Structure formats: structure tokens, C-alpha cells
């Protein structure tokens, strides 16, 4: 039986596909390649197309014996979601509805999916626990919370079991050097800082230095992409064992400010990284740091790369060897 990975040609999806293949799993991928890359797929059978194409989805499920789904495919930029909400409801909420419909028709009853720290909004306390208040501060986070609630009803009504993984900020690249982060346009802090170190950008913009944090810049919990990949496979194992639907945070429990990330990148790269302070970006909470105690105890998850310099070094290995990412 195979695992279907939606968005498997994307950044986190491709690292998870690599991990699944390493562990001998059969993998089927659906990806419209809008933000993903064919070259990022180290194996598996690719259906190039969209989750919202119901005919294609029915064909995919009829041609393969799918046991479980890992669902990454989504639009995922906080800033963009505050300018184009329709895109986010359509791709994330309606796209997930189409996927669940295809699963229902095919009798597939296990799904692990990408949720996010953005479901919490401005946290009531840090580190954030799964039971804390969820009040998204941006459209993106709202659509992910809606996806979680949809899953809960599909479980209650149809018995489709889910694991929602609320990841904090993914960074780093695969140890093989074959795959890494290449979003276009890039909007994530770590790759932008490294592109500045490579001289591809004149400076890195810091979005706001008047937040109520130690140095005034936003604090985030950076988690290595391979540690995320490992958590997805543990979540599949958890559902295979017949366990109930569940929600887990995935982070290191350590907060680093935007300025600290830039300083670590200067150390790792030995390059100059000019900074320009800009306005705050809409929808950004000041501090997001995870408690992952639940994932550690229930899934046995134990992230291997907690050190920010190690994470940035891993990303730098990829960016310095592939300055144009996956190329044209
Ligand atoms: N990168 C992060 O720090 C982070 C943090 C928390 C949550 N997430 C979530 O993790 C998931 C993966 O993030 P990523 O950084 O790898 O993003 P990504 O853009 O690299 O990957 C998403 C993939 O899904 C594909 N896709 C999108 N919509 C599709 C559709 N309708 N049909 C078919 N394919 C489609 C894209 O082409 C892309 O390959 C997303 O759901 C995102 O919301 C990411
Ligand atoms: O050029 C930049 C880019 C980002 N930032 C700041 O750096 C931090 C991290 O930003 P970014 O890398 O864009 O990640 P987030 O907006 O925190 O969102 C990521 O992390 C979320 C979980 O925390 C996920 O849900 C999202 O999908 C993922 O993009 C934020 O405070 C930004 O304001 C800058 O100062 N300058």
C-alpha cells in the first residue's frame, strides 16, 4: 500500500518524501508545481495536478492503493494571505475539502497534515501548548484552523482519523545536499538572510524593531525540516496503531529573534549581512515558541537539531552549493 503525499514537491513535502523512501515506503505524490519543484522529488510516483481537480483525484485514488495521506499542499505565506484572502480559502479550505471527499469515496481513513503555529495568533503564554487559545492573527492561520475543525467533523461523522501537526518555523536542508528550500518568491527569513550573505540581495529587511521583545524584533521557534519529516512518519505510525485523532506542536521550544538569526548567519557564513529596519508586517505576532512536550511523549519525537547555528549551517550548505536553488 502507498502513502499519498500532497505537496510532495514542496520544501517540507520533499524532505518527507525522501524520509519515507529511505524507510521503504511506497510513495505517490500530487503537486501542481506552482511553488514546488520536480527536481525536489527524489522518487515516488508524481501526479502533476491540483487537489481541486476532482476527476484527477478520483483517478489517482482508483489507480493506487492508498493507505494514508500526508497533506502539505497549501498556500502558506502570512503576508500574502493578508492581501488575497480568497486564494487562501480556496486553496487551503476548499482544496482540503476536495481531498477529504476523494478519501471518503476511496475509503481512506488516515490523514496527517500541516497545521501551523499561526493558528494561535497572539499567544496567551509561551511556550504555547496545544490546549491554549487559538485566535489567528492572519487569514493563513485562520484557514489552517478551519482545516483542523473540518478534520474533526470528518472524524466524528465519517471516522477519518487525523493528526494535525502545528509546526513552528521550518528551516534547514537535507543532509544529502540534494534538496533544500527554494520558495519563489522567497519570503522566509532564513533563506532571505542567506541570499543576502551570498550577495544576491543588498540587505535583509527587519520587519519591525519595536515589538515587546528583548531586542524589539519578533521571536520565532526554528525547527529543522528533517526533524519535521521524522514527526510525520511517527504520526503515520501513530494512526496505523489505531490511535485517536490528535493535534501536536512541533518546535524546539527555543525562541530566537530576527536579529539573533541574522547574527547567527553572520557567524556561520563569515559574510557581511547588511540590515534595513522596516515597518512591521501585518499579521505577525511578537513571540511564537512551542511546547512540544506532547509530541515528545505521545509520538516519541525527539528533534535532533535544536541549535540555531546548526540549522542555519544546514541551510547554508544547500544555499552556497545551489545559489540558484533548483535553477530555472
Ligand atoms: N515553511 C514553514 O515554515 C511552515 C510552517 C508551518 C506550516 N507550514 C505548512 O507546511 C506545508 C508545506 O510548506 P512548505 O514550506 O513546504 O511550502 P511549499 O510551498 O514549498 O510546498 C507546498 C507544495 O504544495 C503544492 N501545492 C499547493 N497547492 C496545491 C494544490 N491545490 N494542488 C496541488 N499541489 C499544491 C505546491 O506546488 C508545493 O509544492 C504548508 O501546508 C504550510 O502551510 C509551513
Ligand atoms: O524579510 C524578512 C522576512 C521575515 N522577517 C520576520 O522574520 C520572522 C519569520 O518570518 P517568516 O520566515 O516569513 O516566517 P513566519 O511568517 O513566521 O511564517 C512561517 O512560520 C509559520 C509558523 O510559525 C508558518 O505557519 C508559515 O507557513 C511560515 O511561513 C517574522 O517575524 C517576520 O516578520 C523579517 O523581518 N524580514
pLDDT tens-digit series, residues 241-297: 999 999 999 999 999 999 999 999 999 999 999 999 999 998 788 999 999 999 999
Residue 222 appears among annotated catalytic residues = no
pTM of the model: 0.97
Q: Please name which of 113, 227, 251 lies closest in space to residue 174, comparing C-alpha atoms.
A: 227
Domain coverage including residue 166: 2-171+223-250
| CA 216 to ligand 1 center in whole angstroms | 29
Complex prediction ipTM: 0.97
Q: Which three cell numbers stand for residue 64?
A: 493506487
Q: Are residues 284 and 150 in the same domain?
A: no
Whether 34 is in the pocket of ligand 1, judged by its Cβ within 6 Å, is yes
Mean pLDDT check: name the lowest of 55-64, 78-87, 189-198, 257-266: 78-87
- According to the model, what pLDDT value does residue 127 have? 97
- According to the model, what pLDDT value does residue 203 have? 98
Minimal-distance CA residue to ligand 2 atom 30: 218
Catalytic residue among 11, 120, 140, 211: 140
Q: Give yes or no for a cis peptide into 127 (omega within 30° of 0).
A: yes
Q: Are residues 59 and 166 in the same domain?
A: yes
User: Closest ligand 1 atom to the C-alpha of 167?
Assistant: 6
Q: Please indicate, yes or no, if residue 183 is contained in any of the structural domains.
A: no
Distances (CA, A) of 222 to 179, 295, 296: 19, 16, 17
**How many other CB atoms are found less than 10 A from the CB of residue 149?**
11
Residue with C-alpha cell 545536499? 177
Minimal-distance CA residue to ligand 1 atom 1: 170
| CA 59 to ligand 2 center in whole angstroms | 37
Which ligand is nearest the CA of 5, by number? 1
| CA 73 to ligand 1 center in whole angstroms | 5
Q: Please name which of 222, 221, 225 lies closest in space to residue 175, comparing C-alpha atoms.
A: 225
Q: Please name which of 278, 232, 312, 167 lies closest in space to residue 27, comparing C-alpha atoms.
A: 232
Q: Please name which of 175, 168, 132 lies closest in space to residue 252, comparing C-alpha atoms.
A: 168
Q: Which three cell numbers stand for residue 174?
A: 537535507
Cα gap 152→134, rounded to integer Å: 15
The order of strands in the sheet holding 161-167 is 45-48, 26-31, 2-6, 66-71, 110-116, 161-167, 246-250
Q: Are residues 153 and 278 in the same domain?
A: no
Q: Are residues 10 and 125 in the same domain?
A: yes
Q: Are residues 161 and 266 in the same domain?
A: no
* pLDDT confidence tier of residue 328, bands split at 50, 70 and 90: confident
Q: Residue 238 pLDDT > 80, yes or no?
A: yes
Q: What is the CATH number of the domain that holds 205?
A: 3.90.25.10
Cα gap 233→295, rounded to integer Å: 12
Amino acid at each position: 500500500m502507498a502513502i499519498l503525499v500532497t505537496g510532495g514537491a514542496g520544501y517540507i513535502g520533499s524532505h518527507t518524501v525522501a524520509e519515507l523512501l529511505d524507510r521503504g515506503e511506497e510513495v505517490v505524490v500530487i503537486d501542481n508545481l506552482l511553488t514546488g519543484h520536480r527536481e525536489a522529488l527524489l522518487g515516488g510516483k508524481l501526479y502533476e495536478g491540483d487537489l481541486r481537480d476532482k476527476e484527477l483525484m478520483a483517478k489517482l485514488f482508483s489507480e493506487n492503493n492508498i493507505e494514508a495521506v500526508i497533506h502539505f499542499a497549501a498556500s502558506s505565506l502570512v503576508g500574502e494571505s493578508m492581501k488575497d484572502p480568497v486564494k487562501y480559502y480556496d486553496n487551503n479550505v476548499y482544496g482540503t475539502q476536495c481531498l477529504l471527499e476523494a478519501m471518503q469515496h476511496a475509503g481512506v481513513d488516515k490523514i496527517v497534515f500541516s497545521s501551523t503555529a499561526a493558528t494561535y495568533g497572539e499567544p496567551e503564554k509561551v511556550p504555547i501548548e496545544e490546549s491554549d487559545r487559538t485566535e489567528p492573527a492572519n487569514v493563513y492561520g485562520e484557514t489552517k484552523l478551519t482545516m483542523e475543525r473540518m478534520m474533526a467533523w470528518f472524524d466524528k461523522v465519517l471516522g477519518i482519523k487525523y493528526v494535525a501537526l502545528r509546526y513552528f518555523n521550518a528551516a534547514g536542508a537535507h543532509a544529502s545536499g540534494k534538496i533544500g528550500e527554494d520558495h519563489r518568491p522567497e519570503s522566509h527569513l532564513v533563506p532571505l538572510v542567506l541570499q543576502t550573505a551570498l550577495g544576491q540581495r543588498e540587505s535583509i529587511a527587519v520587519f519591525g524593531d519595536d515589538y515587546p521583545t528583548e531586542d524589539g524584533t519578533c521571536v520565532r521557534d526554528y525547527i529543522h525540516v528533517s526533524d519535521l519529516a521524522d514527526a510525520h512518519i511517527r504520526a503515520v505510525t501513530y494512526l496505523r496503531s489505531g490511535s485517536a485523532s490528535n493535534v501536536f506542536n512541533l518546535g524546539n521550544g527555543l525562541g530566537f529573534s530576527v536579529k539573533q538569526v541574522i547574527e547567527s548567519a553572520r557567524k556561520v557564513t563569515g559574510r557581511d549581512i547588511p540590515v534595513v529596519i522596516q515597518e512591521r508586517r501585518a499579521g505577525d505576532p511578537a513571540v511564537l515558541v512551542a511546547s512540544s512536550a506532547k509530541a515528545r511523549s505521545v509520538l516519541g519525537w525527539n528533534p535532533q537539531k535544536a541549535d540555531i547555528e546548526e540549522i542555519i549551517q544546514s541551510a547554508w550548505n544547500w544555499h552556497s552549493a545551489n545559489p540558484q536553488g533548483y535553477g530555472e
